[in-house]
Structure 1
């Protein structure tokens, strides 16, 4: 049998392997979040509250566009993991090539559409007039970086599917350093650089994405990592019909899950915007803290996905349940600890974004106290979802999100906001988190997700190779809406 590249996630102690694989993923997520937070500090301190509120609106729109093609990357990631688990490296390369070809086209189309429709999207959000011009300038430049950003995320997701969590960490560090360093230079026009204002913040991210992507591709080839394509393998970038169909069939529902999250977030910020610019700025600042609270859960979910995918590919179903249970108790401990730490320092942390604005600070602290506890429930749900999606279960998780986010979260927020004000928005987060957890656990415990297969088995030799699935990606791609 061929030696499996990357880290073998099908053997060894469950908890230790899960934790060691999750830590670099957590580091990548924290770095990416720290990058966004520091950039928000630059914008808030140099350009003011209106500019900070603009980035909160623009970032949610960007995630909406990102989600339109991201589901395909999610499906490909676990397909790669299962191929690696079955010792089929060439199959993993075929998946990577097909997905790159699909996403290169899809991300370019989404970027063009986003550039053209950016004003319409901001109007749909009820973006306040004093925020609109800032948001439009930031958003349009951000769209230019979407194709490079999508390919970068796909490559890091694919590497994690092979069991390599360290390489994505190194290149996340590179991207974060470039982005953080360039922000004040381009915002203020330091040295020979022009003073671009809020456009400078978006341009810094664009440059960081392009440089880090080029460096990652070079590293993959220099180190001859499993997913590199050489010689005739370059032709894998032309999508194969069977793989394209499978990735599309499973990727669309997973993309719709992402779109459900982002559309809900857009609707929520529309409700928040109606409370005024100060509340919007407080919401944007609190979101920065919520991002960090979510990071352990996202990292553990990504680790569970990778481990489950390889074990399914290796037909080690006995380990899939053990991985899920280990992920749940680790999440409760780590996310619970993160909530306690964040509540202890929230005023100091929020002041980095809000300065001395007493009203916005009070609002942000209040919403943080209400919302943050629900992320423990979110973490448990993330682990359960990662396990079921690792075997191709996509339709039921999509239905669960639709119910929890729209009739429950948005319905409660919209109904009670005229009666109790902004508190209706904050409490609706926890109602949605609890609903999602209950339904996801019921599906994990009693559903038939273990019986699913994503591709028809055409012959006994190919049968094991052609069982594929989708799962949660790592990285900070979800907004906190």
Structure 2
């Protein structure tokens, strides 16, 4: 039985792993390319990246909620209904994306100024963010379409699109940032333009696959207001859950600026934090591969009414999470003295990065279990509990990280890695041990 579980987990997790590794390479490649422009540019990218990831991250329910809903209908034998529900998710992504783009461009100035960085860093962040907001709708369509395919137990197609999109992103960024031949280099704005173009191409590719699948099954492609509203209501708890996670990252970034002594120190700390949080996000996506499998498998098994199988697969995936966290932790600790050289020529940033990465490495096994259980409960449609648990965790974490900000970047990261992630672990383990989340049927 365990071999069968492992094969199913691997069938979904391996392509998801490779796709999720490719996704944060958008950020890693941007950081590597922009980092060689200078420390202020890298710090500006850090602030812009946190804001943009927060906005897009709030809409991650378009992937997670769609995965769970589509998988439940697939488990119940209703493939046409699964695709119809997925199409509603795509239309919801268009609506939210249009609103977020307009609001984001208009509010770019106040959003960046809230970080109270130096004038030069603020200017760079504002320039990048205004352009990057234009890619909001393509990003949300990528989330929704990926959720549909995962719910259909297809993690290979998102992998192909992610790899191709990331390759295009790197080429466009190098060309538009530094220039080549008749193309003049644009500096930091070129990085934002290149990323937006790559996002548009990736979204178009995923939409083609989903639309073709819907037509084969006879599912309507027209917007259905009732279905769109239902998808929006179902996503509210996941929005709250994601909002608490993003709020924790924003509070952490603010704590870094709060603990800086002067403008120079602030730029170094922010640049270091940007690299560390980018690498943390990279590893989080790696560990999240099992969580993606958990969402798809949990939704399908509960849709078919198999509570026993759901519990058994959950135990196995937790074991995978622990092992994966140990492996990524060892690799991060071993490579910590070398990673800074890939992204910046500033020795102050490189020196500050090593101890922060060692803290992050120690927390990887905790993260492995947290991401798996998070995926299981999302797949089960247990969004309300995840929202309440996220609020509780944030209330505990925020005052502590602000209180230790005076201890510098290292103290902030110790608080983030162990208090924040430890609190999440406790909340999720408590829920997983009970039975309240094991609800079967087409919908929760």
Tell me the TM-score normalised to structure 1 length: 0.86
Q: Deviations over 1:318-341 (max 9, x none)?
A: 111111111111111122111101
RMSD of the alignment, in Å? 2.1
How far apart are 1:70 and its partner, in Å? 3.1
Aligned match of 2:46 in 49, 56, 69?
Answer: 56
For the residue of structure 1 that corresponds to 2:24, the secondary structure is: helix
Counterpart residue number, 2:18: 27
- How has the CA–CA distance of structure 1 residues 407 and 326 changed in structure 2, closer, same or farther, with 3 Å as cutoff? same
Counterpart residue number, 2:118: 128
Counterpart residue number, 1:4: none
Counterpart residue number, 1:389: 378
- 1:331 matched to 2:318? The reply is no
How far apart are 1:397 and its partner, in Å? 1.5
Counterpart residue number, 1:262: 246
Most deviating of 186-195 and 98-107: 186-195
Q: Deviations over 1:267-301 (max 9, x none)?
A: 21112123211011111112232233223321101
How far apart are 1:392 and its partner, in Å? 2.1
Most deviating of 117-126 and 381-390: 381-390
How far apart are 1:214 and its partner, in Å? 2.2
Aligned match of 2:237 in 239, 253, 264?
Answer: 253
Aligned match of 2:351 in 350, 362, 376?
Answer: 362
Query: 2-side partners of 1:318 and 1:219: how far apart?
Result: 34
Query: 2-side partners of 1:211 and 1:247: how far apart?
Result: 25
How far apart are 1:447 and its partner, in Å? 5.6
- 1:376 matched to 2:365? The reply is yes
Query: 2-side partners of 1:69 and 1:288: how far apart?
Result: 19
Counterpart residue number, 2:423: 435
Q: In the TM superposition, what are the counterparts of 1:329-478 in structure 2 within 5 Å? A: 329-355=319-345, 357-408=346-397, 410-418=398-406, 420-429=407-416, 430-446=418-434, 448-451=436-439, 464-465=441-442, 467-468=443-444
For the residue of structure 2 that corresponds to 1:213, the secondary structure is: helix
Counterpart residue number, 1:281: 271
Q: Deviations over 1:37-61 (max 9, x none)?
A: 122111111x111111111111111
- Structure 1 residues not aligned, in runs of 5+: 1-9, 454-463, 469-481
| Contact persistence 1:293–1:335 (CA under 8 A) | no
Equivalent pairs counted in the alignment come to: 437
Query: 2-side partners of 1:73 and 1:343: how far apart?
Result: 31
| Contact persistence 1:18–1:303 (CA under 8 A) | yes
How far apart are 1:96 and its partner, in Å? 1.4
- How has the CA–CA distance of structure 1 residues 11 and 285 changed in structure 2, closer, same or farther, with 3 Å as cutoff? closer
| Contact persistence 1:285–1:354 (CA under 8 A) | no
How far apart are 1:358 and its partner, in Å? 2.4
| Contact persistence 2:317–2:372 (CA under 8 A) | yes
Q: Deviations over 1:373-427 (max 9, x none)?
A: 223212212212222232221222212222223322x221111233x33333111
Query: 2-side partners of 1:446 and 1:213: how far apart?
Result: 39
Counterpart residue number, 1:111: 101
Counterpart residue number, 1:3: none
Query: 2-side partners of 1:132 and 1:229: how far apart?
Result: 50
Query: 2-side partners of 1:157 and 1:150: how far apart?
Result: 11
| Contact persistence 2:328–2:361 (CA under 8 A) | no
For the residue of structure 2 that corresponds to 1:383, the secondary structure is: helix
Q: Deviations over 1:199-233 (max 9, x none)?
A: 11011111111122223333455xx43x4578771
- 1:86 matched to 2:76? The reply is yes
How far apart are 1:74 and its partner, in Å? 2.4
How far apart are 1:11 and its partner, in Å? 12
Counterpart residue number, 1:302: 292
How far apart are 1:234 and its partner, in Å? 2.1
For the residue of structure 2 that corresponds to 1:335, the secondary structure is: helix
For the residue of structure 1 that corresponds to 2:180, the secondary structure is: coil
| Contact persistence 1:351–1:361 (CA under 8 A) | yes
- How has the CA–CA distance of structure 1 residues 11 and 84 changed in structure 2, closer, same or farther, with 3 Å as cutoff? farther
How far apart are 1:76 and its partner, in Å? 2.0
Q: In the TM superposition, what are the counterparts of 1:115-194 in structure 2 within 5 Å? A: 115-194=105-184
How far apart are 1:89 and its partner, in Å? 1.3
Q: Structure 1: which 4+ aligned runs deviate by more than 6 Å?
A: 229-232
For the residue of structure 2 that corresponds to 1:13, the secondary structure is: helix
Query: 2-side partners of 1:280 and 1:69: how far apart?
Result: 26
| Contact persistence 1:296–1:335 (CA under 8 A) | no
How far apart are 1:12 and its partner, in Å? 7.9
- Structure 2 residues not aligned, in runs of 5+: 261-265
Counterpart residue number, 1:475: none
